Amino acid sequence: MKQYAQFSNIIDESIQNLEKVLYLQHPTNMYAPMGYILQLGGKRIRPLLVLIANDLYHQEPTKALNIALAVEVFHNFSLIHDDVLDNATMRRHKETVHTKWNNNIAILSGDGMLLKAFEMINASSINNKLDIYSAFIDMSLKVCEGQQLDMDFETLNQISVDDYINMITLKTATLIACSLQLGGICANASIQDQQLLYKFGKHIGIAFQIIDDMLDLYAQNNALGKEIGKDILENKKTILFAYALNKSKAIEKEMLLQLYSSKNTDSTTKLNTITNLYNNLNVKQEAVNLATQHTNIAFEALQLINTSAEKKQMLIEFAQSLIKRNF
């Protein structure tokens, strides 16, 4: 990310200012949680993608800054509500909003944060704001749909690989795609380039989520600092699960579903049994192949974008670095 360090600094500084403003706004119980969740940090990949796409067309970062912040604010709205939905107590080693305050405050400050994102679009001075609204609204609804599908998956016994890809496309890849598209809109890129940026981001986002699912179990070293097999232990339905479900024979399938619904199985036994099944079915390789396919589609789209080879190369390197780590 070195080449984009300047953008990261601008974003970090603006978010710090925003946190201060939010902590001072009334009613405190509605605004302080917004400041708090932003303060928990993160790599700010999404606003960075807005500024990067804007930069492909040699535009000043300040022009797209409000839109970049709106994207980060939206992302944090979704985190507040998702933590309520998932009943998650911790995020980035700190209490989640509903744990620190309560569910009601988390619901309402989440609503407010979603509206704050729109307020930031409203406050921006770019000349094609209607296109921004249009893309942003479309993205926001898709992200909610993805979250609903993810919730629906919890009680489904049959999930195809296509179902799974559709869910992560909506829940995760759409916001990556839209961030790049919004940067393109800010820079007055052609409609074709806006669509290519979206396509690039969408497939990079899908590849990212597949790799992230795969690394949960198959990380070579514990570089991510994550517990190995956490998704399995939490019964999270991943690309590995979807492949296993679809490649396994009836008896294995039954065992997998039984382990995913059982509360009595010992963790080590569960993890080992499922890992063995995944290994026998070679689902890791399937996942890697699928991620590669999506990465290739993304890079093909990028080649068609009307910008210099140098800028494209920077974006390719950035995307490659993203796929190997958490967003």
* The one among 140, 181, 194, 248 contacting a second copy by CB under 8 A: 140
Asked if 327 is part of the footprint of a second copy (rule: CB under 8 A), the reply reads no
Q: Which of 19, 95, 111, 252 binds a second copy (CB under 8 A)?
A: 111
Contact region with a second copy (CB under 8 A), list: 113-121, 174-182, 194-202, 223-231: 113-121
Measure Cα distances from 44 to 122, 210, 262, 327 in Å: 21, 20, 37, 8
Query: Within a 10 A sphere around the Cβ of 263, how many other Cβ atoms?
Result: 5
Q: Pick one of 48, 97, 114, 186: the residue that binds a second copy (CB under 8 A).
A: 114
Among 42, 110, 184, 201, binds a second copy (CB under 8 A): 110
Q: Which of 100, 129, 226, 311 binds a second copy (CB under 8 A)?
A: 129
Q: Please give the residues from 21 up to 50 whose contact with a second copy meets the rule CB under 8 A.
A: 26-27, 29-30
Shorter beta-carbon distance to a second copy: residue 132 or 204: 132
127 lines the binding site for a second copy (CB under 8 A): no
Rule CB under 8 A: is residue 137 a binding residue for a second copy?
Answer: yes
Given the complex with a second copy, which of 79 and 319 has the nearer CB atom? 79
- 278-297 residues near a second copy, rule: CB under 8 A: none
> 90 has which bridge partners?
95
Residue 91's DSSP bridge partners are 94
Near a second copy by CB under 8 A: residue from 122, 282, 306, 308? 122
| Min dist. Cβ of residue 218 to a second copy (A) | 30
Q: Which of 147, 181, 209, 248 binds a second copy (CB under 8 A)?
A: 147
Choose which of 24, 141, 219, 304 interacts with a second copy (CB under 8 A): 141
Q: From the list 107, 257, 288, 297, which residue makes contact with a second copy (rule: CB under 8 A)?
A: 107
- CA-to-CA distance for 75 and 105, rounded, in angstroms? 18
Q: Does 88 bind a second copy (CB under 8 A)?
A: no
Is 98 a binder of a second copy (CB under 8 A)? no
Question: If binding means CB under 8 A, how many residues of this protein chain bind a second copy?
Answer: 37
Q: What is the smallest separation between the CB atom of 115 and a second copy, expressed in angstroms?
A: 5
How far CA 210 is from CA of 7, 80, 168, in Å, comes to 27, 24, 9
> What φ, ψ does residue 313 adopt, rounded to 5°?
-65, -40
Q: Which residues form the interface with a second copy (CB under 8 A)? A: 26-27, 29-30, 81, 84-85, 104-105, 107-112, 114-116, 118-119, 121-122, 129-130, 133-134, 137-138, 140-141, 144-145, 147-149, 151-152
